[in-house]
Amino acid sequence: MNQILVFGAGKSATGLINYLLANAEDENWKLTLADANLKLALEKINNSPFGSAVSLDITDESKRRYYISNSDIVISMLPPALHSKVARDCLQFSKHLLTASYVDDEMKGMEAELERQQVLFLCEMGLDPGIDHMSAMKLIDYIKSKGGKIISFKSHCGGLVAPESDDNPWHYKISWNSRNIVLAGKAGAVYKKHGEIFNQSYSSLFDKNEKVNIPGLGELAYYPNRDSLSYVPLYSLESASTFLRTTLRDPDFCTAWNYVIKACLTEEGVNNHLAGKESSFREWLDESIASGTGAFNFEDFMAKYVSVDERAKVKEMFGYLGLFDETKIPAHAKSSADVLQFAMENKLSLLPNDKDMIVMLHEFEYDVKGRRAAINSYLIVKGENSVNTAMAKTVGLPLGIAAKLILDGTILSRGLRIPVEKDIYEPVLNELEKFDIKFQ
């Protein structure tokens, strides 16, 4: 019997856990789900005879190492900063590891030893990164097989709210880690467009966002996502004059978020004006603006920085989050990012019967025998409710499917990998289609 160990029972893990438990009997698996919150882990296991839940503080080295040493494959759904603890133990005990997170420098430092031990660390195996890599590489390989030379590649992905559950001016609801939403774009972005390298700062990321049209949905705006250029060699697209990876949002979201950043509401440092006093949301808003911009308060900020045609919309959207309220901010909030996160969780969380939506779009331009051609490929996935979300499904299923394919010997790759190779992406995409995750 193969022992599968999953660290983390949060929102994005639901689809993974459901898949593993549904296939456990046929595949002869036993799932151990480890989380600091035992109650949450027990809920996710849901009395399945093929799973068990354990309470585990990831910093508890002896307990963590015990469970890893007794597993055949480990899947980490922890926050990215905690993967390294798990990765070091997996390397020591020669255990395969899967994550949905980006490859970090510490993982890269393990590459030679992973090759030597013939152990697989498969990272970026979720939605974005994950399904984006696999679906893009399928088309890239197809175009090249026809003699095509790719000139331009743009890949867009967003976790949004489904139209039938869209009932707020942000046209957005939270379906994954809310902290990551608050801090989105902080690292800025690097990409190539028409042969020129752009290094875009956080402060300009939401200025005048470009738009794409999604069949059946209409226009969505996008902003560049992290370092696109690091994927150029992995996709073998050095000759492309445009290479861009982005995040999709509703155009109104981008308009308002531009001013959230400019008003200094995403700052992570401890705010002195929050310390030792009970501020209201309105006081926090005005004081954040005053301490971080050249404006005195929100009204002055609007007059100085917000264009006339955007003022009504921005005021409505800030107001919807309760930023003008005289309600006291929570005592645990030590930074502006903390306050904003609380406000968003309070106003933009999915209600029990709400549906979220995943949208992905790849845009290719290529040259074949001197003729210019283009092809677009898109995916729309809707969730069932606030637990069985499209986000959890599209993040979790690729991990679960990859685990099955590793354990049954279909995936034989070893070392440090992301899913850009045909022996990984082809069988995973084929199985994803059984769950209606299929590109048009």
Q: Are residues 324 and 371 in the same domain?
A: no
Q: Are residues 341 and 397 in the same domain?
A: no
Instruction: State the total domains in the chain.
Output: 3
Q: What pLDDT shows up at residue 212?
A: 97
Q: What is the pLDDT of residues 39-52, one digit of tens each?
A: 999 999 999 999 99
- Give the closest residue to 136 by CA, choosing from 237, 282, 22, 269: 237
Q: Are residues 292 and 320 in the same domain?
A: yes
Q: Is residue 428 part of a domain?
A: yes
Dihedral, CA of residue 199, residue 267, residue 252 and residue 375, to nearest 10 = 30
Give CA–CA dist 313/169, Å, rounded: 8
With beta carbons less than 8 A apart as the criterion, state whether 400 and 431 touch: no
Q: Are residues 96 and 18 in the same domain?
A: yes
Q: Is residue 358 part of a domain?
A: yes
Which stretch of DSSP H or E encloses residue 198?
strand 196-200
Does the pLDDT at position 277 exceed 80? Answer: no
Q: Is residue 308 part of a domain?
A: yes
Q: Estimate the crossing angle of helix 298-305 against helix 311-320, to 10 degrees.
A: 150
Share of the chain above pLDDT 90, in %: 86
Q: Are residues 176 and 318 in the same domain?
A: no
Give CA–CA dist 281/411, Å, rounded: 52
With beta carbons less than 8 A apart as the criterion, state whether 8 and 76 touch: yes
* Domain closes at, from 292, 326, 348: 348
Is the C-alpha dihedral spanning 318, 324, 329, 335 positive or negative? positive
Q: Are residues 122 and 84 in the same domain?
A: yes
Does the pLDDT at position 146 exceed 60? Answer: yes
Q: Are residues 373 and 413 in the same domain?
A: no
In 258-370, beta strands by DSSP E? 356-368
Give CA–CA dist 233/240, Å, rounded: 11
Q: What pLDDT shows up at residue 176?
A: 79
Instruction: Enter the pTM of the model.
Output: 0.91
Q: Are residues 242 and 357 in the same domain?
A: yes
From 156-170, 292-306, 311-325, the region with the lowest mean pLDDT: 292-306
Which stretch of DSSP H or E encloses residue 140?
helix 131-145
- Give me the domain span that covers residue 299: 259-348
Average pLDDT over residues 91-99: 96
Q: Is residue 440 part of a domain?
A: no
CATH classification at residue 52 = 3.40.50.720
Q: Are residues 67 and 215 in the same domain?
A: no
Q: Are residues 7 and 113 in the same domain?
A: yes
Does the pLDDT at position 274 exceed 70? Answer: no
- Quickly state the pLDDT bin for 293 (edges 50, 70, 90): confident
Give the residues across from 75 on adjacent strands. Answer: 6, 98
Q: Are residues 217 and 361 in the same domain?
A: yes
CATH classification at residue 286 = 1.10.1870.10
Length of the chain counted residue by residue: 440
Three-state SS at 437: coil
- Quickly state the pLDDT bin for 275 (edges 50, 70, 90): low
- Quickly state the pLDDT bin for 279 (edges 50, 70, 90): confident
Does the pLDDT at position 186 exceed 80? Answer: yes
Q: Are residues 32 and 82 in the same domain?
A: yes
